[in-house]
A and B are shown apart, each in its own frame.
Chain A
């Protein structure tokens, strides 16, 4: 049977991106460019989500879906391989991007050249989806570049001073990272002579660990820049602050998720370097602590959210670094949750920006009376990210704490708990200065955000509550992915087919 769902999930947004300008040109004659482009993007992303979801039943049944491009068999041709881990990340990427597409319908209403925005949005999605589904290392690099270049362009989309500054910073740092990845891949190819991840995994096992340190370090640095691991985070606060809020949500929810996936896949499943875990745990700890401390002092909501996003990546790295089954489970669960509540919070910030025109905490206040729904949704997101019990953040953070104690690193867990309290502190500060307190006179006539923007936010908030009340549901969703990480030989066997 020919396995088409993986390639469809990549081709849909890729061709959609190139069709968008053509459709825009045609629909411009009927003066419906905005609506047609927007809904076209929504349709494509939802179709992609359904395609990914259609693979669910088979993969959760323990199968690995392999698609061979052009019919070439693995060590020579490019393969797309989907196991439990790929599927989880693909679901997150597709879900976040379709919600962002719906949100953009109204949010980007005041901007010109909406067709280019939609095309770039679809390209970022195509890149992230490609990273997620491919089984070939160089192919992963190419999709990584597609995702990165389009996200640089999206960050600088409005071409104002702030977005251009953030865009060029992101671009210089990001391109350095991707060239390091290319160098790492070149070194690996020189050593092993193969580019299929499964084949590399098999052959790297026979090479002395000391020989692969340099490519491993290059790849980890490259992916580390994409997930804004401290000390490689310099681009993140600027980019998240200056990008349109819908794009901040996409960056936090989809591209960092794809970057972290690449990190897990390459380090654990290709190099089999479980010994690197301790370094990850330490980096995770530093990222978590510094991210939270810097978030405390921010006066701009989106910048605060950016630092909090860095801090949450620290939690995920920490769990990944423990290298145990429970650690992976907690991390992947937190990765899912992080995509949910971080997208929600950035969308709330976007709603405020849309109605008020600023996200500076000093200039806001008392908006709870004007925007009660946004206030409620922001509160749900903020409590979830701080790990308050009935919400989803609690379940995943708790799993990470327990994993730390079981792995004999109770100190790490203790610091993580303290940072969780700090997270609550800066989010309470944000809630207080935006929605409570004195309302400045000029904010008296602010209205509630439009329903099209509220809809994706509500959906995310409901997910926060559902995954919090029924954590076993989330664990069930994550368990196949965690099983896939532990089952390296199964992946190799499935992709290479016993060659």
Chain B
């Protein structure tokens, strides 16, 4: 391919902004200047789908009503471990209004003797489904199904499951889980004994390094501690589910999903259909946070019931089912030992963790210990522990939120032992330039200089300040494609299967294409979330913006160049002399040659000009060819808390969140996402906790009132500092923010609580009981 050289902005405005020359493919558009000089990109632009959302016109999957549609309901196991002797569905089938009953058969022999029914491994496991005229009838029918269980002993608690004599969850090896909770750390299901799997000791950044024992021998100070985190469920306001119409030879699927392409692939695979015969649509979806990448068990069930009945089937699960069976952030028990010299230089990090994703894998603690700070000697051992509980799933920055909770408290403790300010220690050991700027700007805004010595706050309500950092890889999904079409009525359309999970993907796509074509964001029609269109990435791992906006711009550029060629022929000039700006196409030398963009489209030879572009490699190459870019998405968050030492109640008063994500595309949407990450972090630190009854195996607070999530009264003041950072990586140079926003908050709060009361809390959620216990105000 022909190449050309191009100068790109590089660095951080207001700090070290410079330029770099890159050799790029000739099909790539020209370099954009920094945001200050752009018109649509980098601005606070209203969401293009806001009107649909505020008027109730937006149709979510749960809103779909198709002609002849039936409603389906799952029967779920109500014991945690059993073999099923028989299932009697005759009463359910005879209930008027019931159209079909389908029993889940044992299709997988993984970890199982071959039996008719799958082995029951957790309360809430789907066993059968009913399709009926109404949801009430379906529910009644489910209650009429009789299951004859052969119950077995079970294990719920993480530490109990680690004992050699614990009841086994799987009695054979298991493969890696596709939708496992972690990204990048290999969870080896085929090794380990009893309920233990692993250890995983490496990630895509490599394995252990140096000599950890030698490193501790060289240390002047050592911090060694055990940290514990809880199980945390996603609880999207719209539950998981689908509406499926498989009444013709093509399966039509409306799914509440953050990955339309993957749902299509799973269903095509499950039913042995060509991908072209499965169409998945997700126009609006009510939250996912990592748990909605898969067709789950509801996809195959609804498809089967639709096939059996010859009718469309609605299958949305309810709030309780959502908690029981559709994902959670696994818990962890982590031991961490960190050694340092007197000047702060780290000499060794040794990490060991155990966590349970229930019947799933992916309960590791990520890569924060491995990569956040320079340290020549490093070792991690991350074990998965199987228990009789619902499977985990990716949850914003899987693994890394748990890992950061240990690492960033240990670094705080280390700073104190070294008599260093926590920021000064990080200046010494953190090589990231963008985090250095985030620490500076964030500390200034937060008023870090007002921070007092730990435990020195007077009175009943003690104030404290803390901070913590995070890192997240710049992942790119190379299988990301977009079609841009201009039509001869003057309209412009973007098409991709990528979905908008709520973060504003539709709007940033429109902004990028509008900027390229010299139009307004509101001029662009965005049709996404439909597998009829080219494959887009899943909305996970903060990959979307970095993966899909460069091909969107490139496709728009290609369309524009085709249009320019037609126009140049008409004007008898060269297409290279034309530019599109402010809604017009202009000749750069001849002021008489200009035409409104929409007018130019009306003069096209064909009804449309279209181009499809796919994500190209980063201009400077990748760290890993599958799409691991150089650099990382760093954040620094600061927390101020009040701790009532009589009641134990903790209130987060203020968070300052300093973040970078390459070139920011939409400031309003970015702030919304950071607010969300921060508040979910507050909630993880203080409130949310899955409570399991280890004597029955039941999830005791599987609802919206006892599973405590934050409401409007529990929200801190949040100030956001966005640091623009140009890396000359792609035609938009933009990345996502979903995961980074959520990693550092809980541990920044834990550090602030320590600063307030002078006693460290090593376990979340930081409940009043834990505070009072730490203050020796309760007696056991």
A, B: real partners: no
Which residues of A line the B interface, CB within 8 A? Answer: none
